[in-house]
Structure 1
Amino acid sequence: METLSEAPAELETVLDYVRWAASRFQEAGLVFGHGTETALDEAAALVLYTLHMPMDLPSLYFGAKLTRSEREAVVARVNRRIRERLPLPYLTHEAWFMGLPFYVDERVLVPRSPIAELIEARFEPWVDPDAVRQVVDLGTGSGCIAIACAYAFPDAQVTAVDVSPSALEVAKVNVDRHHVGEQLQLCQSDLFESIPAEQRFDIIVSNPPYVDLQDMSRLPLEFQREPQLGLAGGSDGLDIVRRILAQAEERLTENGVLIVEVGNSAPALEAAYPHVPFLWLDFERGGDGVFLLTAEQIRDCRAYLRP
């Protein structure tokens, strides 16, 4: 790996360093998927963040030259991205979800759920947005889904649940950053365990651990850097999902909905619950493996959902 003293003297401009970083990423065989999909996009994000420039920097400025201290900072971050295989958001401590910035570090997963698209639409047409009063996000991690819901439903109370105290520390940073503390309650709990028994929700949303044992063993290094507690879902990926399904009926309002992301474990879910009419949601910007069930459907299927 090149050091700054060995870096080509020809590198001068923003564009030079974006191209150079992309080449080094390709050469090192890095894996992407934590906010970017290609080496070039990742390189641009890294360089622009390091230079304190916006991601939509006008092309005119890509010809601007870097100072020596800026070159040192860019090369150091490129070196670390390659050497440690850390996802870029762990190096920048920033990730984006639903167009909103979030602080992240190794205590939480990097936000990337397609559920953002559903929140933007305020979960229409499956709920009446104006009637939503209580929302719960199970396995909140960085708090991105819960905080996005607070923006989408300003008249609702949002409960952000996680079993991990360290994850909730990160979520607290983001709650404060987005000034939603009066609307959003953080709760350390194993799913609904610490939530008052009488509390009901119009929307239960969750991006729980759902990676099965086989896929966990094959995760690229970048994904291995994320907390396993947020990824590993047991032998078939459904350990937590089963518990959510079993508990949802007693926690939904009469017209409430349950939305859960299960990713590649969707076939296993359908095989495990052949009599449950999961609605698999479509996404314009990509993503799959997210199902929706209404409270009525869950009531009708209680015999199949209870352990």
Structure 2
Amino acid sequence: MSSPRTTSDGAWTVRRVLEWTTGYLREHGSETPRLEAEVLLAFARNCPRIRLYTDYDEELDESVRGRMRELVRRRAAHEPVAYLVGHREFFSLDFEVTPDVLIPRPDTETMIVAALERARDMTAPRIADLGTGSGCIAIAMATQHRGAEVTAVDISEAALAVARRNAERHKVVERVRFLQGDMFAALPEGERFELILSNPPYIPSGEIPTLSREVVDYEPKSALDGGDDGLDFVRQIVSNASGWLTERGHVMVEISPEQAAPASDLFRQDGRYDEVQVINDLSGAARVVAARLA
């Protein structure tokens, strides 16, 4: 397949570049080649995606074609689109993402919906987000519950820098506190929270090499590796959350569908929690385990 560098049968218009890129990305394994082509070209042109259709027959200048060639080359090497364009939508909010943070997934929105339901009747819930990454959980909670005071923790200062910028972008920086440290060790002694939320690393170590190249080659391994069975961080949360929750406080942890039963058992067998519940995502797959301090 020839590159959109030169053409012998017509100009490289928006339409033609989209068609060429769609075919090229499909050949290189993309599951959503047309969508990716549109996102990349809109980024190369610095315009909204909808403009591609109003400018369908417009010829692209060489500078845009050059940017597009480089984006397509990197995408064909399986670099995630979110890293290429530097942002990803989550809970209808636009988040900056870099290779320092895990790319937000729609599955994690399941936790936001469930947490907001539990916080609905709370005037000023104190919420801890452990392993905040891009800040998507903490910031979504702060934007959706105007009384919430959120503490966002991450061991990576680079990740926290991204999260802070996202909080500033969404104008919640005054209600989201960022702390660097390892999970509960970062929390100030004596504080208590109505909700503790976490999307921790939960991929079993042995399964990481089997993940897609987009994940294995580009996303931070520290945000993926959950130990031999993927439950190392879940165990840490089960062991420690009770000491940081208010009376009858809630804890919620994202898991893979295969981990729903063992993760639920960890909460039940601990003896300090009740109302243990598995919450499914929109596809019907188990995605979150929730529990309450007994």
TM-score interval (norm. to shorter)? 0.7 to 0.9
Look up the match of 2:237.
Answer: 244
1:213 is displaced (CA, Å) by: 2.1
Separation (CA, whole Å) in 2 of partners of 1:250 and 1:7:
67
1:86 is displaced (CA, Å) by: 1.1
Look up the match of 2:34.
Answer: 40
State the identity %.
Answer: 34
Look up the match of 1:149.
Answer: 141
Are 1:127 and 1:256, in contact at CA under 8 Å, matched by a contact in 2?
Answer: no
- Cα 1:56/1:132, change in 2 over 3 Å: farther
Q: Normalising by structure 2, what TM-score? A: 0.87
- Cα 1:166/1:251, change in 2 over 3 Å: same
- Cα 1:287/1:70, change in 2 over 3 Å: farther
Separation (CA, whole Å) in 2 of partners of 1:191 and 1:39:
38
Are 2:153 and 2:186, in contact at CA under 8 Å, matched by a contact in 1?
Answer: no
1:143 is displaced (CA, Å) by: 0.9
Look up the match of 1:17.
Answer: 17
Separation (CA, whole Å) in 2 of partners of 1:170 and 1:195:
20
Separation (CA, whole Å) in 1 of partners of 2:10 and 2:127:
54
1:50 maps to 2:44? yes
Q: Secondary structure at the match of 1:246?
A: helix
Q: What residue identity is the alignment partner of 1:43?
A: A
Q: What residue identity is the alignment partner of 1:77?
A: L
Separation (CA, whole Å) in 2 of partners of 1:94 and 1:57:
19
Q: Secondary structure at the match of 1:18?
A: helix
Pick aligned residue for 1:281 from 275, 279, 282? 279
Look up the match of 2:29.
Answer: 29
Look up the match of 1:5.
Answer: 5
1:63 is displaced (CA, Å) by: 3.8
Look up the match of 2:272.
Answer: none
Pick aligned residue for 1:163 from 133, 144, 155? 155
Look up the match of 1:262.
Answer: 255
Residue correspondence of structure 1 range 106-145 to structure 2 within 5 A: 106-119=99-112, 123-124=116-117, 126-145=118-137
Are 2:129 and 2:153, in contact at CA under 8 Å, matched by a contact in 1?
Answer: yes
Greater per-residue strand proportion: 2
- Cα 1:271/1:247, change in 2 over 3 Å: closer
Look up the match of 2:179.
Answer: 187
Pick aligned residue for 1:81 from 75, 90, 93? 75
Aligned residues: CA RMSD: 2.6
Aligned residues: 288
Structure 2: any 5+ residue segments left out of the alignment?
270-274
Pick aligned residue for 2:189 from 178, 182, 197? 197
Separation (CA, whole Å) in 2 of partners of 1:177 and 1:127:
24
Q: Normalising by structure 1, what TM-score? A: 0.84
Deviations 1:210-256 (A, max 9, x none): 00123212012110110000001011001111101111111111232
Separation (CA, whole Å) in 2 of partners of 1:25 and 1:135:
41
Q: Secondary structure at the match of 1:161?
A: strand
